Amino acid sequence: MTPFGLNAVHRHTFRFSQADVEAFARVTGDDNPLHLDADFAAQTPFKRPIIHGMLGAGIFTKVLGTEFPGYGSVYLKQTLEFLRPMFVDTDYEAVFTVVSTNPEKHTAEVSTEIRDAGTGKVTTKGVATLMHKGIVE
């Protein structure tokens, strides 16, 4: 497990394929053509299909639940701001920074950001609150 205390930082690189977007649309029922139809998306300000915002933000639960702090984490809250579109077959980096801890309650607040790995621009940001037995000062 990566050390998990105040100011600890964890980075995770990832990308999504169009098949991932289609699977997310099937599971959630969100079949907005903005995500699935290139001709439709070409008529929007984005000019091509974009990834569902919640699919992109799903990387937060993956990392917090399996890597940082890892197994046993309990997600209590997540705020989200969707600042820029995300696209398939693009490299992204999720950055997690512990901003506060409450060792007595085994809780922490973690800044969560997704950055386009090519431009460094933030696409999604928020703050997660979670519980984990390994939370320290």
In angstroms, the CA 113 to CA 69 distance is 16
* Domain 9-131 of CATH type 3.10.129.10: yes
SS3 91: coil
pLDDT of 1 strictly over 60 = no
Condensed to tens digits (0 to 9), the pLDDT of residues 28-61 reads: 999 999 999 999 999 999 999 999 999 999 999 9
Count the Cβ atoms, other than its own, within 10 Å of residue 10.
18
- Count Cβ atoms within 10 A of the Cβ of residue 96 and give its class: 0-12 exposed, 13-18 middle, 19 or more buried: buried
Helix H or strand E encompassing 120: none
Domain boundaries, the chain: 9-131
pLDDT of 78 strictly over 80 = yes
pLDDT of 2 strictly over 90 = no
- Count Cβ atoms within 10 A of the Cβ of residue 98 and give its class: 0-12 exposed, 13-18 middle, 19 or more buried: buried
Predicted model pTM = 0.92
In angstroms, the CA 52 to CA 76 distance is 22
Peptide bond into 85 cis (omega under 30): no
Higher pLDDT, 4 or 38: 38
